[in-house]
Amino acid sequence: MDFRILVLGLSLLAWPVAADTDKDMDDLVSLIYQYPDAAKQKLEAIGQQPLTQQQQLRQQVLMCQTLIQLGEHRQAINLAQTAQQQARHSKLEQAIVYFQTCEADAYGDQEDFKRAFTLLDIAIEESKNRNQPQAIVGSLRLKGTLEYAVSNYSAAIESLRLALDVYPDLEKQRDHWVWPPIAYLYADMAGVMHATGDLSQADYYLDLALKTPETKGKIKQALAVMGARIALDAGDRAKSLRMLQSAIELLPEISSPLERAFSQAQIGSIELMLGNLAEAEADITAASAIFVSNKNLLWELRVERLLAQIRIAQKRPDAALRYLNSSANLAQRLSQYDDLSRTYFLEAKLYAENDDYKNAYLSMLKNVAAGEKAQQKLNNTQFMQYKAKLELQEQQKTKAQQLISEAAANQQQQLNRIYAFIIFLLLIIAGLATWIFGKSRGWNLAVHLNQSSDEQLAEHMLNTAKNAGYPLSVLLLDIRHVRQIELPLLQDEIEKKLREQDKLLQHSAAELLILLPYTSSIGSERVIAQLEPVLQRWHTAKIHLGAASLTQPDTLQTLLKRANANQLNRSRSDDGLQSAAR
């Protein structure tokens, strides 16, 4: 008895410990992006505690994102790949999408966009299937930043807007993992707006980011750098200087030398644009030393190009050419054709300014050739992304068909084994099932209007309403966004919202028709409002519903045409509201 009491007491104590660990990890989500070095130390301490399998995986998810924030991309990739195997072994597949996003983030920072986009497309699809809004927000936000990096601005805006739309649902997720701070979503949107030349919108989103409570540490410093650049491009030199000074003062908040070097390089480029050559050279030289020691060739070639621009401004063309040649060699070695094109363009400009038009022409030819290769590389990346999407869709379709086939085969095999013995019983069961199905569904829900009996039913209800003088309304629902396999579930949900006398018919493969006797136009709007929560669960919305109310001259066809026109009007009205919001 004493032993059982002891075990019970220990089990009761385990719950608060687990709850405290989960809360500790919740508190670390923002800290990862604000002070990643401090977050890493706390995560290592948590890793020494006794954890459940799910908590172990979450600790690894948070550690992976921490490594990204510290610039330790190779370690993040290794951790993500190992942890995915652990998640599969532990049958906690919902964790895999977070590691896929982290791995994609690391590849994106290394500008391996082909791998990054492929992983993100898989992560986004799986996040939707597993109802993981935290993963959806993280993967959509990252996809938006990568699309911005490859100059696909319209796609970037769409991804970031979707992420912002889903963001309020984060807290509704039962099991917490990791999610980006909303300040970064606003900042990413500001970056895209800045790139497209919409400086007022860029300033608007940046202001939203700066006002969020989580804007501290590294987040605040990154926003200050962005603010300095946006203000400078907007012609507000005084504000740019204030923001730049704030960014410099916040540099000690970044504990990672490599991440601090990234920021110093950005600060140096702004100092260069402001004409502060000494400050620019000091910042960029300090950053270059870190990149060289870390063997970060990509950023090494970029700071060499910045140093070349400083030498040009100092009227030292020979020194500038040495930096440009070194930058071009590194870009050629890394197949960074966009960087190579920029370097050759700067080289051509330098030659032209010194009246060496022959070499200026040769450099421009190299610039054009590198630009063509950069565009080809971008096209290949986008094609591979599109191809990967198609392959993913085909795999999912094949998997679904295989599951259906296997289930059907197993069922048939079981039936074959007992068919000879209980055929009479099966017939009775089939009869009972048919009778129960007919009673529960009323023989009138989710049927096809292309059958004559259904047409007669609709016409009969319409004529009865006209003769008796009572109102009748119809709702036309676009179901093209609903997968065929989910259609019966949607119909069942709709039925629960309808009255006994209401009828649900399938008008076509793309539309459901709901007949509402004794219902005016105002009443039909109430029904739409009742159905809206149901429709949202199937990724459709109110704008996919059209309504029309019966008038004496109406036939079934004219009533359906008016409902279809109402559906189009709702869609246009919704588009108008979105345009105004922009």
Nearest Cα to Cα of residue 26 among 174, 212, 215, 164: 174
Q: State whether 437 and 483 are in the same domain.
A: no
Q: State whether 454 and 542 are in the same domain.
A: yes
pLDDT over 60 at 227, yes or no = yes
Of 406, 423, 443, which one is at a domain's C-terminal end? 443
Domain-located, residue 520: yes
Range of the domain at 419: 414-443
499 pLDDT tier (thresholds 50, 70, 90): confident
Q: Work out how many domains the chain is built from and give that number.
A: 2
Q: State whether 421 and 506 are in the same domain.
A: no
Q: Which residues share a beta bridge with 448?
A: 506
Domain-located, residue 149: no
Share of the chain above pLDDT 90, in %: 52
pLDDT over 50 at 579, yes or no = no
pLDDT, tens digit, 9 for 90 and up, residues 538-557: 655 555 788 999 888 888 88
Q: State whether 434 and 557 are in the same domain.
A: no
Please give the DSSP secondary-structure letter assigned to residue 212: S
- Report the pLDDT value the prediction gives residue 530, as an integer from 0 to 100: 87
- Report the pLDDT value the prediction gives residue 535, as an integer from 0 to 100: 78
**CB–CB of 546/525 below 8 Å?**
no
Please give the DSSP secondary-structure letter assigned to residue 501: T
Q: State whether 451 and 559 are in the same domain.
A: yes
pLDDT over 60 at 403, yes or no = no
Q: State whether 573 and 467 are in the same domain.
A: yes
Q: State whether 522 and 577 are in the same domain.
A: yes
* Interval 375-388 mean pLDDT: 66
* Interval 185-204 mean pLDDT: 94
pLDDT over 80 at 428, yes or no = no
Of 422, 443, 464, which one is at a domain's C-terminal end? 443
Domain-located, residue 74: no
Q: Beta strand 472-478 with 511-517: parallel, antiparallel or unpaired?
A: antiparallel
Q: State whether 456 and 555 are in the same domain.
A: yes
Domain-located, residue 8: no
Domain-located, residue 536: yes
Distance CA(425)–CA(429), nearest Å, equals 6
Q: State whether 531 and 486 are in the same domain.
A: yes
Q: State whether 437 and 457 are in the same domain.
A: no
Domain-located, residue 460: yes
pLDDT, tens digit, 9 for 90 and up, residues 509-532: 778 889 999 888 888 888 888 888
Share of the chain above pLDDT 70, in %: 82
Domain-located, residue 438: yes
pLDDT, tens digit, 9 for 90 and up, residues 34-63: 999 999 999 999 999 999 999 999 999 999
Coil, strand or helix at 338: helix
- Report the pLDDT value the prediction gives residue 577, as an integer from 0 to 100: 42
First CA to last CA across the chain, in angstroms? 69
- Report the pLDDT value the prediction gives residue 15, as an integer from 0 to 100: 37
Domain-located, residue 464: yes
**CB–CB of 147/156 below 8 Å?**
yes
C-alpha distances out from residue 111 to 32, 121, 161, 293, 353, Å: 22, 17, 23, 20, 33
Q: State whether 420 and 512 are in the same domain.
A: no
CATH number, position 506: 3.30.70.270
144 pLDDT tier (thresholds 50, 70, 90): very high
Q: State whether 426 and 527 are in the same domain.
A: no
